[in-house]
Chain A
Amino acid sequence: GENVEQHPSTLSVQEGDSAVIKCTYSDSASNYFPWYKQELGKRPQLIIDIRSNVGEKKDQRIAVTLNKTAKHFSLHITETQPEDSAVYFCAASRTGGGADGLTFGKGTHLIIQP
């Protein structure tokens, strides 16, 4: 089955700086890669996703890059703000209906220092 590795487990950055979280996956058939943000005591919420037919996707301060050859993808957050503090999870799946479910990384606790 799929295995997703996520690094780092904790990331502390100064407010206004950029943050980068990296993930690798093992199943070359995976073609859907979402990122979720989870605040303490809350449910995971999708912040951005990318499919295997593109290499990069941006949404305001958030971007995701995908390298299918190397089987890794990354989340980039620019101009970080206090409300970006949370746990971030990457995930991967083979789709065609999302039927397999997602395989998640173990999460990155992002801390924004004022």
Chain B
Amino acid sequence: TAGITQAPTSQILAAGRSMTLRCTQDMRHNAMYWYRQDLGLGLRLIHYSNTAGTTGKGEVPDGYSVSRANTDDFPLTLASAVPSQTSVYFCASSDHTDTQYFGPGTRLTVL
């Protein structure tokens, strides 16, 4: 199985443009998450979803939106990118044991 995948691997984006980061898992996990990782700050939770059809805000949700139309997919959208959103973005999913499995990440640069 593929586990959890993210696309694109990296992207350079002009400020003010919109972009959707994709995340797909084939493990049938109910819960999914988006984190951003910045040097010296560790990983911070942006949004999460307990199950298909529900989402919630994490520690740093401003400027980001998510949707969870089905179990497998959890896209993250930046409606109007700003340079402070330059980061590495990790998607994760968890099973009933609470263990979180991370995707390979998307490196986003906003200029």
CB-contact partner of A44 in B48, B56, B58, B90, under 8 A:
B90
Contact code string B42-71 (vs A, CB < 8 Å = 1, else 0)? 111100101000001011000000000000
CB-contact partner of B99 in A46, A89, A101, under 8 A:
A46
Known: A43-B102, A93-B98. A106 touches B40 (CB 8 A): yes
B74 contacts partner chain A, Cβ-Cβ < 8 Å: no
Q: Which residue of B lies closest to A90 (CB)?
A: B42
Chain A residues positioned under 8 Å from B96 (CB to CB): 97
| Cβ-defined contact, B42 with A102, below 8 A | no
| Cβ-defined contact, A106 with B42, below 8 A | yes
Our count of residue pairs bridging A and B at CB distance below 8 angstroms stands at: 60
CB-contact partner of A105 in B42, B56, B59, B104, under 8 A:
B42
| Cβ-defined contact, A44 with B98, below 8 A | no
Q: Which residue of B lies closest to A6 (CB)?
A: B42
Distance in angstroms between the alpha carbons of A62 and B9 in the assembled complex: 32
Distance in angstroms between the alpha carbons of A105 and B41 in the assembled complex: 8
Chain A positions within 8 Å of B, measured between CB atoms, are 1, 6, 32, 34, 42-46, 49, 89, 93, 95, 97-107
Q: Which 6 A-B pairs have the closest CB atoms?
A: A98-B98, A101-B45, A98-B94, A43-B102, A106-B42, A99-B50
23 contacts between A and B (CB under 8 A): A1-B59, A42-B104, A43-B90, A43-B102, A43-B103, A43-B104, A43-B105, A46-B101, A89-B43, A97-B30, A97-B31, A97-B94, A99-B50, A101-B35, A101-B48, A102-B45, A102-B100, A103-B45, A103-B59, A104-B35, A104-B42, A106-B41, A107-B42
